[in-house]
Structure 1
Amino acid sequence: MPAPINPFKAALNERRFQLGFWVALASPYAAEILSGSGYDWLLIDGEHAPNDIPSLAAQVQALKGSQSHAVVRLPVGETWMIKQILDAGAQTVMIPMVETVEEAERLVRAVRYPPRGDRGVGAALGRASSFSRIGDYLETADREICLIVQIESRAGLAALDRIAAIDGVDGLFIGPSDLAADMGLLGQPGHADVTAAIRDAFARIAKAGKASGIMTLNLDQARLYRELGADFMAIGTDVTTLVEATTRLRLQYQGDETSHTTGSSGY
């Protein structure tokens, strides 16, 4: 029996648009709730959310059987972290702030078994092989692993063509906020200069035959990114959605209470 099919990787290869959402509450319970919301993929964030390997793995487990594919963003591209999260069952990993060909090539090796890579052979202990119940896991795992590298700086953009040409890099994800900061436009991811850089990056990624990804909290910006050619995109986060919804509910109630009080005063 081979390794499970990675539906997210298959969709990217076929250029079927994949809509996603950011999971940053560091809670398997929250991840499971979100997995029923209809998104193609959920990004379990290990860079800016308070997650470690066990909590990331627990959220991957929480998504099992749902229509939402788990994409795990690690805080850095350390080989040992990649090894552990792959053994825990993640099939798609995203690595932030990739700026050089050498770094991207090292990441490709980290997600592949020898002789094509240097992923440690220990899947018999993990969920990835269904605890050794998938007899052909070692022979078939590589083709189902999806590696997404984040391009978030001017240095990354300068190396983008060469990074996109690397066999084993499945997608390149542009980070508008960090890119804006690196361009001297901190807090302005929607600035015209940043958008122009993203437009150019998407065109170069498409020319290389790879998938381009991005994330935004602005739906108008999301529609623009889709028009520019985004193949996979996240349009919100659990944290910001929770903040907005709870604040809106309080304000709505307080407004209703004020109206009720005013209306009963006789004025």
Structure 2
Amino acid sequence: MTPAPASFRARFLAGDLLLGAFIKTPTPHATEILGGVGFDFVVIDEEHAPFDRVTIDTVLLAARASQTAGLVRVAEPTPARLLAALDDGAAGVLAPHVASVEKAKDVVAACRYRGGKRGFSNSPRAGGYGKLGVWDHVDAADASVAVIAMIEDPEALDAIDAIVAVEGLDGVFIGRGDLTVAMGATGPADPRVRAAAQTITAAARTAGKPVCIMVADAKEAQDWRALGASAFIVGSDQGFLRQSALRTRTEFSALPAR
């Protein structure tokens, strides 16, 4: 039986092997498909795809229907963006460009009720449309929402030990794409980017925090699993579509013309 999406945070914190993908297309269908084949989570990409709040809300509903955890990579880690995703029922958030302790603390505060500053409402999906009372909703939300900082700026490396140690921050996502561009590197496999990613992973391991990273395939995941990563994003809905379409086009190109 597939674990309930609500258990995502507990599984993430426990270091379970988790498989996810980015959702770039603002419709529910890809999420239903990925959930249906057993992906543990999807990440709705508000930062780099054409999502608004209504489409995020719809895709989060599809995630629930297909029994996969729906996370949101917010366009920017402001309290308003984070609150919108969480009120709509996201199992967690990826906060981009967390490059300082102060930013990490601000993100955590915006996502937590107790000890934080999350704006309260139990009337949206997250509160069961009023089903949960005030403190039942507070406790359920604080227990289930995963707060993940994206470490993707070189300057974050100077404070990485302190960033990952921030109380209430559940884990980190290593953004090798942004690190590649910022460092002027050749790609994610460039020694400089790999060294940065290993530094982040080591800091997270010391702090007892899990690591999520985007990989090309299971073979690369095995490499990073050995270094301490446990949650893996493999491609996106658009990437899967393109790969399958290209494979089919290539196969048909090999057929005789007549």
| TM bucket normalised to smaller | over 0.9
Counterpart in 2 of 1:54?
A: 54
In structure 2, relative to structure 1, the CA distance for the partners of 1:212 and 1:121 (3 Å cut) is same
1:244 aligns with: 243
- Number of the residue aligned with 2:35: 35
Distance 2:115 2:80 in 1: 17
Structure 1 SS opposite 2:255:
helix
Distance 1:19 1:90 in 2: 17
Match of 1:147 in 2: 147
Query: 1:107 aligns to what?
Result: 107
Q: Deviations over 1:28-55 (max 9, x none)?
A: 1222122112111111111111111111
Q: How many residues align?
A: 253
- In 2: Cα distance, 1:5 partner to 1:236 partner: 20
Q: Secondary structure at the match of 2:241?
A: helix
Q: What amino acid sits opposite 1:215 in the alignment?
A: M
TM-score normalised by the chain length of structure 1: 0.89
**CA apart distance, 1:146:** 1.0
| Contact map agreement 1:53 1:81 (CA 8 A) in 2 | no
Contact 1:190 / 1:221 at 8 angstroms: preserved in 2? no
Q: Which has the larger radius of gyration?
A: 1
User: After the TM superposition, which residues 76-225 of structure 1 pair with which residues of structure 2 at under 5 Å, given as runs?
Assistant: 76-113=76-113, 116-124=115-123, 126-135=124-133, 136-185=136-185, 188-225=187-224
Normalised by the length of structure 2, the TM-score is 0.92
3-state secondary structure, aligned to 2:138: helix
Quick one: distance in 1 between partners of 2:238 and 2:116?
A: 36
SS of 1:39's partner is coil
Quote how far apart the aligned CAs of 1:219 are: 4.6
Deviations 1:197-245 (A, max 9, x none): 2122211110001011100225543332222211211112111111121
Structure 1's unaligned 5+ residue stretches are 262-267
Indicate if the aligned counterparts of 2:32 and 2:65 stay in contact, CA closer than 8 A. no
Q: For 1:120-175, what per-residue CA distance to the aligned partner results, in whole angstroms no more than 9, with x for missing partners? A: 12222x00111011232134321221100000011112121111111110011101
Alpha-carbon distance, 1:57 to partner:
1.3
Amino acid at match of 2:137: Y
Answer yes or no: is the 8 Å Cα contact 2:47–2:76 preserved in 1: yes
- Structure 1: how far apart are the matches of 2:76 and 2:223? 29
* 1:253 aligned residue: 252
Q: Helix, strand or coil for the counterpart of 2:226?
A: helix
Q: Secondary structure at the match of 1:63?
A: helix
> Displacement of 1:6 after TM fit?
3.1
Mapped contact 2:122–2:132 kept (Cα < 8 A): no
Asked if the contact 1:5–1:144 (Cα under 8 Å) also holds between the matched residues in 2, the reply is no
User: Aligned partners of 1:17 and 1:34: how far apart in 2?
Assistant: 17
Structure-2 separation of matches of 1:157 and 1:67: 36
- Cα distance in 2 for partners of 1:45, 1:222 equals 21
Moved over 4 A (4+): none
Amino acid at match of 1:209: G
- Whole-Å Cα distance in 2 between the matches of residues 192 and 81 of structure 1? 35
Distance 2:194 2:22 in 1: 21
Q: Separation in 1 of the partners of 2:237 and 2:177? A: 18
Q: Percent identity?
A: 34
Distance between the aligned counterparts of 1:183 and 1:54, measured in 2?
Answer: 36
Q: How much has 1:80 moved relative to structure 2?
A: 0.8
Task: Find the residue that maps to 2:83 and give its secondary structure.
Answer: helix
- Determine the structure 2 residue equivalent to 1:264: none
